[in-house]
Homo-oligomer: A and B are copies of this chain.
Amino acid sequence: MRTFVLLMCLAVGCLAQVPHPCRSPPLLTGALSVANEKFYANAKYTYDAMLKRIRFKEIGSYENKTFGIDALLLFREGVMYTINHRNKTCKKERLKREDFHPMKIPADAALLGQVILGSSSGPGQGLLVNTWYGEVATPSGKEKDKWMSTFTEFGCIPVSSTYYTDKTGWILTTFFNIVVGIMDPQEFFPPKFCQGTELDETAEAADFYSIFKNLTKYS
């Protein structure tokens, strides 16, 4: 019996060594940088997986011209606001409700590997992370987008992510200065001057990646 218990413990121990897809904390405040061959952007974001809403405030450059974007994505209402503080104007677009992108590893993701970013030789010198990859069918179904994401082993915090589409090439996102929690829930309120903005019914419904795909339009 003792041998059996020991074997069971070993088996469970071995299984526990392999990382399993995880889900990030539901409330996060942090920053990210997004880059590909042509553009570079830094954004502050507030993320609420419970009420499915994200606020992005970003500053970036595209072919050496700078731009700023402030976007509020309310997935429950199916609405995205793009806010122009200078002109005090808003654009209100449809957002695909089902496209809320929770910060989690999809169940069908494959593990590329576990590494220590930096070093394990001293305290504060390294970070234990897991990298996952997979594919996403595009709406047309013709080609598949590819992705690869790195999360911390402890806490399931996003560290970096690469996303490939034929149109954009590789887009590299790095996540930093994250704290678990939200500092101001009013970040998810549209500014007062957005009240009364009519929904643009003509535009194609946006999704999470529209912000990045649209970046090139702001040059």
Chain A contacts to B: CB under 8 angstroms: 25, 28, 30-31, 37, 115-128, 152-155, 157-159, 169-170, 172, 174-181
Contact = CB atoms under 8 A, between A and B. Distances in A.
B155 A125 contact: yes
Contact of A118 (B116, B124, B169, B178): B178
A179 to B, nearest CB: 5
Contacts of A117: 117, 127, 159, 174-176
A128 B118 CA distance: 11
B122 A180 contact: yes
Nearest to A169: B37
Nearest to A170: B37
B118 A127 contact: yes
A34 to B, nearest CB: 14
Nearest to A179: B121
Contacts of A37: 37, 169-170
B127 A178 contact: no
Given A37-B37, A37-B169, A120 B179 contact: yes
B121 A31 contact: no
Nearest to A118: B157
Given A37-B170, A152-B124, A155-B125, A118 B175 contact: yes
21 contacts: A25-B121, A37-B37, A117-B117, A117-B159, A118-B127, A118-B159, A118-B175, A118-B178, A119-B155, A120-B177, A121-B155, A121-B179, A122-B180, A124-B152, A124-B155, A125-B154, A125-B155, A126-B157, A126-B178, A127-B127, A172-B172
Contacts of A180: 119, 121-122
A23 to B, nearest CB: 14
Nearest 3 pairs between A and B by C-beta?
A: A124-B154, A119-B178, A125-B155
Contact of A178 (B28, B116, B174, B178): B116
A157 B125 contact: yes
Contacts of A128: 124
